[in-house]
Amino acid sequence: MQSVGTLLRAEDRAAVQALSPGERVALALALGRRDLETFRLAQVPPLEPAEAAQVLERRRQASRRPSHCLEELIG
C-alpha cells in the first residue's frame, strides 16, 4: 500500500511532465514569485519586493564558499 504522500508526488510529477518546456519555465517563475511574496510578507514589517529579493540574495551569497580565483582578481 502506497502512502498518500507518495501518490501525491507521483501525480505532481506526471502533471509537470505533461507540460511543454515553456509551460515548465512559466510554472517555475510563478513559483519563485509566490515564494518571494510569502517571504516578503512573513517579515515584520513586510518588506518591499525589491528589498526582499535583495535579502534573499545576500543570504544565498553568504552561504557560498569563497572563490580563490575571484579573491585574486578583486585583490
What is the DSSP track for 12-73?
A: HHHHHHTS-HHHHHHHHHHHHHHHHHHHHHHSSSPPPHHHHHHHHHHHHHHTSPPPHHHHHH
Share of the chain above pLDDT 90, in %: 73
Report residue 67's pLDDT band, with 50, 70 and 90 as the boundaries: confident
Note down the domain range covering 34.
4-74
Q: What is the pLDDT of residues 55-65, one digit of tens each?
A: 999 998 887 88
CB atoms within 10 A of CB 46: 13
- What's the confidence (pLDDT) of residue 75? 64
Query: Averaged over 16-24, what is the pLDDT?
Result: 97
Q: How many domains does the chain have?
A: 1
- What's the confidence (pLDDT) of residue 31? 97
Give me the residue label for grid cell 511532465.
17
